Chain A
Amino acid sequence: MTAPTHPILALQHVGRSLAGRTVVRELNLELGGGEVLGLLGVNGAGKTTSLRMIAGVLAPTSGTVRLGGEDLYEQPELARRRIGYLPETPPLHAELSAEEFLAFCARLRGVARGAVAAAVARALERCELGDVRRRPMAQLSKGFRQRVGLAQAILHEPELIVLDEPASGLDPVQALKLRELVRGLGEDHAVVLSTHVLSDVQACCDRVAILHRGELRHIGGLGPSSDQALRVGVSRRLHSVDWLSLPPVATAEAIDATHWRVRLKPEAAVDEFAAAVVERGFGLQELRADASSLEHTFLAIAAADAPAEAA
């Protein structure tokens, strides 16, 4: 008989109250290895509280957080080797150099003495900190500090990496590199990251969970699927019926004169659709996943409670 396999992270009915106010309620989530989950929500949605519970910093008032099937709050030492956590403000002892600080973090996380130098060197390289590794962190820019924070979260090669707003304060180039890094981390680790930037989620997550007022309102994949709405740019002026005449198309909605939001039938593939568009001579100029479908979902959830919020 084989042992049951557990997801790396499982949240079951997790709730948290702070000062008598429910901040997170009935949160149920599962995350496996090689998966990046984006936690999306407006400010105050409960993202940071959820991540603190996942990272083992804050105990839930109800429910359980399980790491590989084991209760994190019954065995807090599980977090030591198996979780890496970057809080919203990178927790750096700024008077030290990045190299020295990371060596301490590695030992704190249980990396064997002989393996510390290699782990630090690898994290410095991954986060592109080689040039500044000996400078006191107090002298580093916010972007560099954020990268040191990220390096301390990954240097012990944890199974689960928890990142709270990792791109905050980064310039566009740094943010792009961070997305690539997170994407790379997602190949070997389970990653949960919170953000309120939709493009971050779209760029580096496999799944998105939308939190609103402490509740999980939506969870779904982001990868290419037949259900995915497509944004199509064409040179010809078309009508809905033209699109619907194509066999793979389920619905078509005009964005402007030359751009359409098209949904395919469940069994249809994107290449089949593209071939049909070309064959009909629609003048295909642009074809990509429609970013705004996630945006619509997000905004619809955020707007649903707007009158109550104002009250």
Chain B
Amino acid sequence: MSVAGLIARHEGRRLVVQPFAWTLAAIVVALMAWQFLLSLQGFLQLAPKLGGIKDAPGVTDLVAIPLLRSFGNLLVLLVPLITMRTLAGERRAQTLPLLLASGVGNARIVLGKYLGAFGFALVLIVLVAAMPLALGFGAPLDLGRIAAALLGLALFAAALTAIGVLASAWAAQPALAAAAALAITSLLAVVDAGARLQGISNAGINYLALPSHLEPFFRGLVASVDIVYFVLIVVVALVLATRRLDTLRSRAD
């Protein structure tokens, strides 16, 4: 196993022996299940009226995709909580020297921390995805569209996790790291709000905004430009986090 994989697995192990991850997962599942049941009830009330309409929206449009979209919004809040301790927690607990002295290299430390946190975010996505997918037993689902939405959520979570790890590398306190990650993510979410208000939706500023790249996945569109955008965010954030560890090594902390 590679060193990054080893660190990632260790991160996962550290998460599952603490109540924090379980509490977070429980809250997420409870919140999303509540929303799922509400929208399902709404759909069941609406279904008889939709019967006669041609190309009427189905359970995928009215239950599955809104639930996943809503979970996307929740991820903006959740991921900083998952990532805040990755490096800032090590610094606060004075355990970072264990990794720095191990001679494995800063890039692999950052990658390992990233993969560990991303793994947990993926588990949350799987837990939430199970709810609409369970409808497949009794109703026809547009699995292609749900798969696209899940891919979008995974890429979105990947980008948020990278931003979170970067914030955790910069901040000395986990709470500060979470706040910084939330601030960066929020900024990326609304960066084109002004432009959109002016009716501009296809300019460079729109390309920078996170929602412009997530929304197509919910519509079932998988475009390489959106995938590249998320991958770019991950790469840039992880490179910057590695540079930050280089600085810590040369600065003492």
Assuming A83-B103, A85-B101, is B10 touching A104 (CB within 8 A)? yes
- The answer to whether A83 and B250 touch across the interface, beta carbons within 8 angstroms, is no
**Among the listed B6, B14, B96, B104, which residue makes an inter-chain contact with A91, where contact means beta carbons less than 8 Å apart?**
B96
**Among the listed A18, A91, A100, which residue makes an inter-chain contact with B97, where contact means beta carbons less than 8 Å apart?**
A91
Q: In the complex, how many angstroms separate the beta carbon of A167 from the nearest chain B beta carbon?
A: 18
Assuming A18-B252, A49-B252, A59-B249, is B102 touching A108 (CB within 8 A)? yes
Report A63-92 CB contacts with B as 1/0, cut-off 8 Å. 000000000000011111101010101011
C-alpha gap A83/B100 in the complex (Å): 12
Assuming A57-B101, A95-B17, A107-B6, is B95 touching A52 (CB within 8 A)? no
* B-chain residues with CB within 8 Å of residue A108 when the two chains form the complex: 3, 6-7, 98-99, 102, 104
* A-chain residues with CB within 8 Å of residue B105 when the two chains form the complex: 76-77
Asked if A55 is at the interface (CB within 8 A of a chain B CB), the reply is: yes
C-alpha gap A108/B103 in the complex (Å): 9
Interface size on B, residues (CB 8 A): 26
Interface size on A, residues (CB 8 A): 34
- The answer to whether B98 and A105 touch across the interface, beta carbons within 8 angstroms, is yes
- The answer to whether A95 and B14 touch across the interface, beta carbons within 8 angstroms, is yes
C-alpha gap A56/B1 in the complex (Å): 24
Residue of A nearest to B99 (CB): A108
* A-chain residues with CB within 8 Å of residue B224 when the two chains form the complex: none
- The answer to whether A91 and B98 touch across the interface, beta carbons within 8 angstroms, is yes
Asked if B13 is at the interface (CB within 8 A of a chain A CB), the reply is: yes
Residue of B nearest to A60 (CB): B250
Asked if B23 is at the interface (CB within 8 A of a chain A CB), the reply is: no
Number of A-B residue pairs having CB atoms within 8 Å of each other in the complex: 77
Query: Which of A49, A59, A81, A91 is most buried by chain B, counting CB atoms within 10 A of its CB?
Result: A91
Query: Which of A52, A57, A152 is most buried by chain B, counting CB atoms within 10 A of its CB?
Result: A57
C-alpha gap A92/B1 in the complex (Å): 22
Residue of A nearest to B100 (CB): A57
Q: In the complex, how many angstroms separate the beta carbon of A72 from the nearest chain B beta carbon?
A: 9
C-alpha gap A136/B14 in the complex (Å): 11
Task: Report B73-116 residues with CB < 8 Å from chain A CB.
Answer: 93-105
**Among the listed A58, A78, A81, which residue makes an inter-chain contact with B249, where contact means beta carbons less than 8 Å apart?**
A58
Q: In the complex, how many angstroms separate the beta carbon of A101 from the nearest chain B beta carbon?
A: 9
* A-chain residues with CB within 8 Å of residue B10 when the two chains form the complex: 93, 104
Q: In the complex, how many angstroms separate the beta carbon of A92 from the nearest chain B beta carbon?
A: 7
C-alpha gap A56/B100 in the complex (Å): 8
* A-chain residues with CB within 8 Å of residue B13 when the two chains form the complex: 96, 100, 104
C-alpha gap A18/B96 in the complex (Å): 19
Q: In the complex, how many angstroms separate the beta carbon of B113 from the nearest chain A beta carbon?
A: 13
Asked if A147 is at the interface (CB within 8 A of a chain B CB), the reply is: no
- The answer to whether A87 and B252 touch across the interface, beta carbons within 8 angstroms, is no
Residue of A nearest to B96 (CB): A91
* A-chain residues with CB within 8 Å of residue B45 when the two chains form the complex: none
- The answer to whether A77 and B103 touch across the interface, beta carbons within 8 angstroms, is yes
- The answer to whether B17 and A96 touch across the interface, beta carbons within 8 angstroms, is yes
C-alpha gap A18/B100 in the complex (Å): 18
Pairs A–B under 8 Å by Cβ, sample size 10 = A49-B252, A55-B101, A77-B105, A91-B93, A91-B94, A91-B97, A95-B17, A108-B3, A109-B102, A113-B1
| A interface, CB within 8 angstroms of B | 16, 18, 49, 52, 55-59, 76-81, 83, 85, 87, 89, 91-96, 100, 104-105, 107-109, 113, 136, 152
| B interface, CB within 8 angstroms of A | 1, 3, 6-7, 10, 13-14, 17-18, 93-105, 249-252
